Chain A
């Protein structure tokens, strides 16, 4: 149902409309869904405007309602976390409509996903993760005090400089070992099985079994629909590991073979750690035929029963599965973490083996490592069992309370002041007066009451101003010492930024608090900071002029 025509209603800019689906409900309102070249839009019936419009680049993913549900729906999840649900209400063709929309979106979304710049995502993520940064961004960039580039140049650079590992290689999320267990089929009551597949599980399957991914890429959507593909996957003996491969018509039989090959090559490669290499563990000098059980029974595959070989297949598959999950978890390129002991070249004996051989009894030797503070547990039982709800016996009994009151009374009765050590009465009086409200030492007390004097909304604003000013000043001060032309340029720009900030942000704020008859003293410190910066700038500028002349 692919239409290709121009939509006149969108008068201002004519866009190419790829698909129009009528009778689509959104928020219980009937309307029409339009899929255009760059966005998806929905307009209520009889109106000439769109009430819903999303750029494809904003859409993170689409979800569809399971087959068999009464309502045929399609949900769009945006990067911002919001979602929009469309209900296909045309009774006769609802499913077909939905499929058409889904298929088209499926083709369109990846294109736009690639467009969405990686860096942008990163910035977006940072803003989302850090509310303070987000506010700052709003204050400085949105209000055009500084440009976005300036904002990020410093930010991204600073972050990567301080802790490059954390951001450059963000730890990849591994795969659950039991992801196949999570799709345990549920019977739907009428002799069918239902598998719940989520994007995460599909991703896990692809990462663990690259062969399946390859099959998917080869077959979907040219030969099979996605649904057919997964249905076949679950039916294949590939998925059911205990079944021995017999048929060849199955598209997954090749996968099994590839896995087999992969497993074999892993085995042939051998292990890097000589201490776990069972092949070279023994100084084997018994030849074949010697020894009590020289002729090992049942090792040869020929005389295994069907059940035995199916059991063996399960075991092999489990080893393979675990190895693949493990490999998918560790980053690509970085092979097994333990060591790099290559077995074929014995010219190169890495120290790892030596170290492993020299493993000693560390407790027999003097400790050299820095002393750590041990956890001092008064009640190790409580630690071991975790927090336990307070129990009645842990309350002090009334007798205890009476006893302690008596004890304190007794203490007080016998209290004898040590009078030789106290201050003279005059000194004491002055100390008390100094510490009383209004006293010398309590001057700061008046200002501390700001949270009572100023409405919280002004306080919040002030806080934002401080953060923004701090950020700008940080930029400014980081230019000193100014020793490159780039920094020169920057410092001048920063100064003008500061001035702009003062003009567009600080002044209005000051005026506002004046209107509210609040003490203008509130912004005094901010002004002071700015003034210091200006002074510094002037000193620098005059010096520069002098040097030039």
Chain B
């Protein structure tokens, strides 16, 4: 259908539309008009992606000079691919309606692991290996060597791409990862570099957060993207953690040992080269003196991690004299390494700020701040000069030099914590140096500054006002949309008591309490008897889950559950969990039914959807607070309090509730879907917890279901499930939660829709 969104003609590739999609587009258009940033929350399964794409594409077509590019960032590879498929549908609709082929170019970009077509390289399983192998076939000096000696192996796909691939831009169309690979195979071009090159002139780019938020990668990949782009962060409820992760470093004794080896290798290589090809080193030195930012003309293939600090923090000066020659730099690295080793030989926990660390390093080993800041860059240059092929081997040295650059660049927003052992095993020495970023706004700041509109959106962003605060930006629109429903297809229940009236809670004091564990088991057992197909249960942590599973096993609860359903359990091993997950789906598919025991904040809770019968009930055992004893977290909370005036408890609760909402939201993936959401902890009933759930869940929690016993919850669930099992047809939705174009255009409906958006 063709929509009129405040004067903008929007092609929408479906025959019907949800009311909230309409208001979402309305809000989005206002954000784009104002050239500002927006925070939009809309439940998953209400067609957020297609609304975003439809509106922004229409906007791009209407105002080609205002918005030149859409950069769509998502979290996981399947999500990225899904976005592209939706886009394909939209574009097909366009060409069908307008009867002309449009010259839109849209593509997905992913890591080499997902795009490589080189037969040897692509058979490697881990991303790091693929990157390393690719580098060893495509680096500029390798190719130069190949030039002089054709028997030297290179990647023919890259060669082909380099020779002709840049002359003609990628023909217009929609390219998913597989399409890129197909295209690459047909032409004999490397799809990865083709994609990286093509994002510069593509109308729409879909890739992962890291390509924009991690300075080490963003500098390589996204540096030249136009400023007049709209950036969308989908599933952005965790964006602050992504930001923090991209700027944080951990150093263990193992890292240092690896680094020691790296430094030795560097030393030997320098010696060797000095004997054979001293001119090379001299040339590098000359360039560094001249202050060329990059000592060699860095080709796109030469580095795979760039400077870890943000572009505007990189010094535009010549590398200081003390580390200009290769030997001096290696000596410098040695000294730095020894210093770090000495710091790791601690007996008690140390926490200090970056300036304190710099002062200490100056006092102890006379290392200045300035050479430290150039450390990362200098190492890159050296690695290139020495023509080190296997860069992956040098990850430890790279890590250390990145740390050096980071710690000397930022004096605020970071903390250094050195822990001699893990808290749970105080007898085993395992010193770790955490250099952790506490301020997510640091990493995302350049994005907000550079691009005219940044949209942060997700199904669970409540409470909305906290994101602008922790990310430090000023949105022009903030809105939360609820899900209009023709039937109440979600049933949130708060189970606060067992049948024996024992209060259920995962709080620390009652964690080991057998009565609570038994009642939790009872809840799961009762549910396994009444819920069809799949049940997903989330625990607050791995340790907690393991303990509960063990005691359920001892008490024979698990065996009773097995009478109803098969049990699969998430482990910390991703491969094992994948297998369990696949078996779980198989068991749901063939009618046997299964239970998946999983962990909030784990991989399953973040990336796997349990549509329809794969998840008819989600049980959240406890409130998934983050491990509060962690010193990193404490430092971050302190920082948040001092800098952003966010109270510790507010943040902790916010963080716990967004994860709880993520977990329970996994089960509802659309209006035809249905599922139970069971919050098994009495603390959920409190207003401060409940109030932080997304509005679309909150409004279905009735006062009567705030403190249920297990039996009461079972009764309510039975009733709910029987009602939901009735056929649900389009006619039932039409006019209420599903609209035709005529219905949408009626005055009455427009008024109703205006109420749907919840302005804050």
A287–B85 CB distance below 8 A: no
Q: Verify A374–B722 contact, CB threshold 8 A.
A: no
| Set of chain A residues within 8 Å of B422, measured between Cβ atoms | 297-298, 303
Instruction: Please list the residues of chain B having a beta carbon within 8 angstroms of any beta carbon in chain A.
Output: 14-18, 45, 47, 50, 75-78, 80-82, 85-86, 89, 110-111, 113-114, 117, 122-123, 125, 127-128, 176, 178, 181, 207-208, 210-211, 214, 217, 241, 244-246, 248-252, 255, 305, 395-396, 398-399, 422, 424-425, 428, 430, 432, 434, 436-437, 543, 546-547, 549-550, 553-554, 556, 558-560, 562-569, 571-583, 585-587, 589-590, 592, 594, 603-604, 607-608, 611, 632, 670-672, 718-719, 722-723, 726-727, 729-730, 733, 738
CB distance from B552 to the nearest CB of A (A): 9
B549 near A270 with CB under 8 A, answer no
Instruction: Say yes or no for A315: interface residue by CB 8 A criterion.
Output: yes
Contact B556 A291 (CB under 8 A): no
Do residues A292 and B244 form an inter-chain contact, with CB atoms below 8 A?
yes
Shortest beta-carbon contacts, A-B, top 7: A181-B559, A283-B208, A178-B562, A294-B250, A364-B14, A291-B245, A311-B546
| B-side contacts of A323, CB under 8 Å | 568, 579-580, 583
Is the C-beta of A273 less than 8 angstroms from some C-beta in chain B?
A: yes
Say yes or no: A318-B567 contact (C-beta < 8 A), given A177-B562, A290-B245, A312-B546: yes
Partner of A277, one of B176, B578, B604: B578
Q: Is the CB of A279 within 8 A of B574?
A: yes
CA A241 – CA B549 in complex, angstroms?
12
Given contacts A285-B210, A329-B592, contact A290 B550 (CB under 8 A): no
Q: How many residues of A contact B (CB 8 A)?
A: 87
Asked if A266 is an interface residue, CB under 8 A from chain B, the answer is yes
Q: Can you spell out 29 A-B residue pairs with CB atoms less than 8 angstroms apart? A: A174-B592, A177-B563, A177-B566, A180-B559, A181-B563, A184-B559, A276-B608, A277-B578, A283-B76, A285-B127, A285-B210, A289-B252, A290-B399, A294-B249, A294-B250, A296-B572, A297-B424, A307-B550, A311-B546, A314-B550, A323-B568, A326-B583, A357-B78, A357-B176, A361-B45, A363-B671, A367-B730, A383-B722, A385-B719
Are B582 and A271 in touch, CB under 8 angstroms?
yes
Given the complex of chains A and B, what is the CA–CA distance between A278 and B77 in angstroms? 10
Closest to B113 in A: A280
Q: Would B566 and A322 count as touching, CB distance under 8 A?
A: yes
Q: Which residues of A contact B582 (CB under 8 A)?
A: 271-273, 276, 336, 338
Do A316 and B14 touch (CB < 8 A)?
A: no
B719 touches A384 (CB 8 A): yes
Partner of B550, one of A269, A289, A311, A366: A311
Say yes or no: A299 contacts B572, CB within 8 Å.
Answer: yes
Query: Which of chain B's residues have a CB closer than 8 A to the CB of A178?
Result: 559-560, 562-563
Give the CA-CA distance A377 to B672 in the complex, in Å.
20
Alpha-carbon distance A333/B293, docked complex (angstroms):
62
Extra contacts, 19 of them, besides A307-B550, A384-B723 (Cβ < 8 A), are A181-B556, A181-B559, A242-B550, A267-B576, A274-B78, A275-B608, A276-B608, A282-B77, A283-B110, A290-B246, A318-B558, A322-B587, A326-B583, A326-B592, A329-B592, A336-B586, A357-B78, A358-B89, A360-B86
A residues with a Cβ closer than 8 A to B are 174, 176-178, 180-181, 184, 241-242, 263, 266-299, 303, 307-308, 310-312, 314-316, 318-319, 322-323, 325-326, 329-330, 336-338, 344, 346, 349, 354, 357-367, 372, 374-375, 377, 380, 383-385
**Chain A proximity of B681: nearest CB distance (Å):** 22
Known A267-B575, A322-B583: A181·B560 in contact at CB below 8 Å: yes
Question: Are A287 and B81 in contact, with the CB atoms below 8 A?
Answer: no
**CB–CB B559/A282 < 8 A:** no
Q: A277-B578, A285-B127, A292-B436 are in contact. Are A358 and B730 (CB under 8 A)?
A: no
Give the distance in Å from the alpha carbon of A346 to the alpha carbon of B119 in the complex. Answer: 10
Whether A271 and B581, one on each chain, are in contact in the complex, defined by CB atoms closer than 8 angstroms, is yes
Partner of A281, one of B76, B430, B568: B76
Are A319 and B569 CB-contacts (below 8 A) given A184-B556, A312-B546, A361-B14?
A: yes
Distance in angstroms between the alpha carbons of A319 and B117 in the assembled complex: 35
Q: A364: which B residues are within 8 A, CB to CB? A: 14-18, 47, 738
Q: Which chain A residues lie closer than 8 Å to B590 at the CB level?
A: 326, 329-330, 337
A278 engages B578 (CB within 8 Å): yes
Provide the bound-state CA to CA distance between A323 and B580, in Å: 8
B78 contact set on A, CB distance < 8 A: 274-275, 281, 357
**Known contacts A299-B572, A319-B580, A364-B18; A289/B723 CB under 8 A:** no
Tell me the bound Cα distance from A286 to B122 in angstroms.
Answer: 19
A267 to B568, CA, bound (A): 14
Instruction: Quote the shortest CB–CB distance from B387 to chain A (angstroms).
Output: 22
Contact A283 B210 (CB under 8 A): yes
| B106 smallest CB distance to A (angstroms) | 15
Which residues of the partner chain B approach A268 to less than 8 Å between Cβ atoms?
575
Return A371 CB to nearest CB of chain B, in Å. 9
On whether A267 and B246 interact (CB within 8 A), knowing A315-B549, A315-B569, A363-B733, the answer reads no
Cα of A266 to Cα of B586 in the assembled complex, Å: 15
Which residues does chain A contribute within 8 Å of B672, judged by CB atoms?
362-363
User: Provided the pairs A295-B250, A298-B424 are in contact, do residues A181 and B562 lie with their beta carbons within 8 angstroms?
Assistant: yes
Q: B245 to A280, Cβ gap below 8 A?
A: no
Provide the residues of chain A in CB contact with B14, threshold 8 Å: 361, 364-365
**Closest CB-CB distance, A369 to chain B, in whole Å?**
10
Q: How far apart sit A337 and B590, CA to CA, in the bound complex (Å)?
A: 8
Please determine whether B559 and A326 come into contact, CB atoms closer than 8 angstroms: no
Residues of A within 8 A of B178 (CB): 346, 349
Nearest chain B CB to A207's CB is how many angstroms away?
15
Of all chain B residues, the one with the shortest Cβ separation from A269 is B579
What CA separation (Å) do A8 and B36 show in the bound complex? 109
B85 in contact with A357 (CB, 8 Å): yes
Cα(A184)–Cα(B556), bound, Å: 9
| B399:A287 contact, CB within 8 angstroms | yes
C-alpha spacing A177/B593, complex, angstroms: 10
Asked whether, in the complex, the Cβ of A315 is within 8 Å of the Cβ of B571, the reply is: yes
Distance, CA A362 to CA B395, complexed state (A): 47
A374 to B728, CA, bound (A): 9
Q: Which of A180, A269, A329, A375 has the most chain B CB atoms inside 10 A of its CB?
A: A329
A296 closest partner in B (C-beta): B572
A178–B562 CA distance with the chains assembled, in angstroms: 5
Residues in A neighbouring B727, C-beta threshold 8 A:
372, 374-375
* Contact A319 B726, beta carbon cutoff 8 Å: no
Contact partners of B251 in chain A: CB under 8 A: 289
User: A100 vs B207: C-alpha distance in the bound complex, in angstroms?
Assistant: 74
Partner pick for B111 among A277, A285, A336, A377, CB 8 A cutoff:
A285
User: In the docked arrangement, what's the CA distance between A156 and B755, Å?
Assistant: 68
- Please report the C-alpha to C-alpha distance between residue A383 and residue B250 in the assembled complex, in whole angstroms: 60
A290 to chain B: closest residue by CB = B249
In contact, B568 and A285 (Cβ under 8 angstroms): no
The CA-CA distance from A360 to B214 in the complex, in Å, is: 32
Q: Tell me which of A242, A278, A289, A337 contacts B607 (CB under 8 A).
A: A278
Question: CB distance B586 to A284 under 8 Å?
Answer: no
**A325 and B566 form a contact (CB under 8 A):** yes
Determine the chain A residues whose CB is within 8 A of the CB of B82 once the complex forms.
357, 359
Q: Are A285 and B208 in contact (CB under 8 A)?
A: yes
Which of chain A's residues has its CB closest to B573's CB? A267
Residues of B contacting A269 with CB < 8 Å?
579
Cross-chain contact of B80 among A283, A319, A330 (Cβ < 8 A): A283
Identity of the chain B residue whose Cβ is nearest the Cβ of A381 in the assembled complex: B719
Q: Nearest residue in B to A315 (C-beta to C-beta)?
A: B569
In the bound complex, residues from chain A placing their C-beta under 8 Å from that of B86 are 360
- Cα distance, A531 to B352, chains bound together (Å): 110
Complex CA distance for A330 and B560, rounded to whole angstroms = 23
Separation in Å of the A216 CB from the closest CB of chain B?
23
Measured CB to CB, the closest approach of chain B to A514, in angstroms, equals: 60
Rounded to whole angstroms, the CA-CA distance of A293 and B434 in the bound complex is 9
User: Given A278-B607, A357-B82, A366-B15, are A294 and B578 also a contact pair (CB < 8 Å)?
Assistant: no
Inter-subunit contact B579/A266 (CB<8 Å): yes
**Neighbour of B586 across the interface among A275, A307, A337, A357, CB < 8 A:** A337
Once the chains bind, are A289 and B608 in contact (CB under 8 Å)? no
Determine if B246 and A338 form an interchain contact, defined as CB atoms under 8 angstroms apart.
Answer: no
